Amino acid sequence: MRQAEGLHAGRVLAWKAEAQASLKLGWPLILTNLAQVALLTTDIIFMGRLGADALAAGSLSVSLYHTFMIFSMGLVSATIPMLATTLGKRRNALREIRRTVRQGLWTAALICIPAWAILWHTEAILVFMGQSPPLAAKAAQFMHTLQWALLPYLAYIVLRSFLAAIEKPVWTLVIAAGAIAFNALAGWLLIFGHWGFPALGLEGAGIASTCSSTMMFLGLALVLTRHKQFRRYRLLGRLWDRDWARLAELWRLGIPIAITFTLETLVFYSAVMMMGIIGKDALAAHAIAMQLATITFMVPLGFGQVATIRVGLAAGRADPYAIRRAGWTAFGLGVGFMGLAAMLMWLAPRMLIGFFLDASLPSNQAVAALAVRFLAVAALFQLADGAQAVCAGMLRGLHDTRVPMLFAILGYWILGVPCGAFLAFVAGWEGVGVWLGLATGLTVVAVLMTSRWLKRSRIEPE
């Protein structure tokens, strides 16, 4: 009896310790994700003060840049599960960590070459997509200063992945917070021409973003090369050394992640396009509801990153009980938060909308009413959105990325987008139909991802 009680107490302590480790690792990652949202929000606020045309042109450029950035970020983020598994094995850890980080930086440089070549022709791309030539030309001017932010940002992601994998993510939060302040100041100076700086408009916004991304990379590089806790890794030494085997391994793991990230992002862009067809009120209401959903999503996204690291560490140790414990702990924390977010969206939608819009004004009442309806649907899929985000991270910890990519294709593009288009334009449900399509896709992916995790993590009962 005492032996059984001791085993039970040991299991409880193990789950408690895992929850504490996940929360300790998770909160800096979550706040760092929110900091990335704040950077983009600052740019949009400044562009809005330049006028409707500048905001429209800037939004087009940001959307196109964001598509390439998400794909590239997914590719280099394969360094996280690779580093976590290496640290779990603890065999030749320093050498293996250097190999992975070095090839992560190589990957960042290699993917930027075609991305820069394509983004340089933004004007022609936007005209081909049906945008007006004057607007496309203005967007291209912005892109020609923004696109250079891609390389330092990806390099920052690689270094951030290392700090996350060794469970020391606070430095990334400190650097990101500094970048927010720097980006706001640089944008204010260069966009509007304060303190004797030239008023460069959208081009100034691109320069500010590029400088901010460069500062983020250089800040982390300085910490990793100067701080005594990290100097021994010598991460930035001999960057020119070729390692084709490790580079190929990183790309095999990273390409499915990149495709999955991109497919999910493009689903939400397609929703924007459909809302634009429905009308300006629907588009405005969608922007408000989507911004709120994006903010809440940062929490399960952070716990998904936690799951990748903690599951990867356990997988490196070949400890199936720790794998399961790490995965389900992150899942419970991420989905549990989304349950609270769903209740808030359902019970107090007008309070949330009030942060973005004065619903008491007659001119805003139609938009506010639509946003309330959209948030009701968003509340329905919060749990699914959280589950698919965390499960994707759990599976990445096991280096399982190809099957989740197929799930994303099926859920988002074979079911979700067509369902949303049918409900919006054939069934006549308009904006609510678009959101129900998003809910359908996210729910299908969540169910498939969870089923995949159950299969991969199945072990005998403890």
Q: Which amino acid is at 272?
A: V
Q: How many beta carbons lie within 10 A of that of residue 375, not counting itself?
A: 25
Q: Is the pLDDT of residue 287 over 80?
A: no
For 118-156, the pLDDT digits (tens) are 999 999 988 887 777 888 888 899 899 999 999 999 999
Res 361: pLDDT: 78
Buried b (16+ CB within 10 A) or exposed e, 159-191: bbbbbbbbbbbebbbebbeebbebbbebbbbbb
Please spell the DSSP secondary structure of 146-195, one letter per residue: HGGGHHHHHHHHHHHHHHHHTT-THHHHHHHHHHHHHHHHHHHHHHHTGG
Buried b (16+ CB within 10 A) or exposed e, 423-454: bbeeeebbbbbbbbbbbbbbbbbbbbbbebbe
Q: How many beta carbons lie within 10 A of that of residue 113, not counting itself?
A: 9
Q: What span, in angstroms and rounded, lies between the C-alpha atoms of 389 and 375?
A: 19
Q: Do residues 306 and 26 lie in contact, with contact meaning Cβ atoms separated by under 8 Å?
A: yes
Q: Do residues 154 and 73 lie in contact, with contact meaning Cβ atoms separated by under 8 Å?
A: yes
Average pLDDT over residues 420-429: 94
Cα–chain-centroid distance for residue 78? 14
Q: What span, in angstroms and rounded, lies between the C-alpha atoms of 31 and 50?
A: 29
Closest CA to 289 of 349, 339, 337, 343: 349
Res 4: pLDDT: 56
- Mean pLDDT is lowest, of 271-275, 305-309, 341-345, 369-373, for 271-275
Average pLDDT over residues 236-244: 83
Average pLDDT over residues 52-61: 74
Q: What span, in angstroms and rounded, lies between the C-alpha atoms of 126 and 67?
A: 14
* Crossing angle of the two packed helices 150-165 and 2-49, in degrees rounded to 10: 160
Cα diameter, the chain: 80
Contacts of 404 (CB under 8 A, 6+ apart): 256, 260, 392, 395, 396, 449, 452
Supply 24's token pair.
């300790």
For 85-107, the pLDDT digits (tens) are 998 887 668 888 999 999 999 99
pLDDT range class, residue 355, cuts 50, 70, 90: confident
CA dihedral 131, 135, 138, 144 (to 10 degrees): -10
Q: Is the pLDDT of residue 3 over 80?
A: no
Res 49: pLDDT: 75
Res 461: pLDDT: 40
Can you give the residue ranges of every domain in the chain? 24-242, 253-462
Closest CA to 412 of 383, 377, 452, 385: 385
Contacts of 319 (CB under 8 A, 6+ apart): none
